[in-house]
Amino acid sequence: MKRKKIELKDSGVLFNKELHEYWLDGKRLSGITEMLQRQLYPGEFDGVPEAAIDEAARYGTEVHGSIETFDTEWINDGTQEVQDYIRLCHENSLVHERSEYTVTDGKDWASNIDKVYRMSDDAFSLGDIKTYGSVTAEKLEKARWQLSVYAYFFELTNKGARVDRLFILHIRNRRKKDGTFDRISEILFVERIPSEICKALLDADLKREQFINPYSIPEKYKEQEPHIRQLIQAKNEIEEELARIKAEILEDMEAMGVKTWETGTMRLTRKLPTTRTSFNLPAFKADHPELEYDSYMRSSPVAGSLQIAV
């Protein structure tokens, strides 16, 4: 059965762009960015010069404006940022539905979603434009919280609508001191945080309580970070030294024409050069699309693992 096409509703919130204030029925509502700053990222801008923060905000506003003008008025100002945005939309099949779409819980909170894209009659994707220089894990996680709260409000505002994907549109083209450009154009998908967790965060802030982030790393692992870094550094140094010794041994064995050496407790074996042959399945499938492969494919479980980046 065909789903009924959902048209986005007006939240009823009045947004004062100059003061960046949200009002509903005479009551001023709180914004999401400030709440996230209070609850989860209080020290995000510590040590960053105010002039740098202001310049980043100015550039971000400029890029947001150019992209919004393209989406709402089909005016392309020719900037690299707009060209990159158009390409990202084309590559990811993004059909613009709204820009700066205001959502709310109807009583305490409101915010503007940068981009809403229609995916089907009842499914939408939400995008947030970011123009910063690099995406750290903290920035990505903050955007995840922000977009997840937006998704929660979006579905409250539009009954029957569902949010499909959440992502950052990371777009930047800034001239560097050496004259080259710091050009970034990518889409970064984030996993949605369940609405009940988002609501718990909002409720904690309203009660002026500190929210306990269920996704934050436990304190016992934070305390082990120096030791983990020390172990990783030692491991890297050991592997480098072992690789140097192995290369030296192999060179001597090749020069002497020997294949094995034994000390009684250690055996060294020189593997001769060879050629590895593998079957190129994607190419074979492309050449023979009429064939069925499922009965010949084998799958096996792969254990989960932990990656540590320092």
Is the pTM higher than 0.85? no
* Residue whose C-alpha is closest to residue 233's, from 308, 137, 304: 308
Q: In what order do the strands lie in the sheet with 181-190?
A: 95-104, 110-118, 123-130, 162-175, 181-190
pLDDT > 70 fraction of the chain, expressed in percent and rounded: 99
| pLDDT more than 90, % of the chain | 73
Q: Is-contact 190 135, C-beta < 8 A?
A: no
d(CA 87, CA 153): 29
Asked whether the beta carbons of 125 and 117 are under 8 A apart, the reply is yes
- DSSP code for 93: T
Contact 272, 250 (CB under 8 A): no
**Predicted local distance difference test score (pLDDT) of residue 286:** 81
CA 178 to chain centre: 29
In this predicted model, what pLDDT tens digit does every residue of 166-190 receive, in sequence order? 999 999 999 888 889 999 999 999 9
Structure confidence by residue, pLDDT tens digits, 59-96: 999 999 999 999 999 999 989 999 999 999 999 999 99
Q: In angstroms, how far is the first alpha carbon of the chain from the final one?
A: 51
pLDDT given at position 1: 56
What mean pLDDT comes out for the span 102-115? Answer: 96
**Average pLDDT, rounded, for the chain:** 92
- On the 0-12 / 13-18 / 19+ scale of CB atoms within 10 A, 296 is exposed
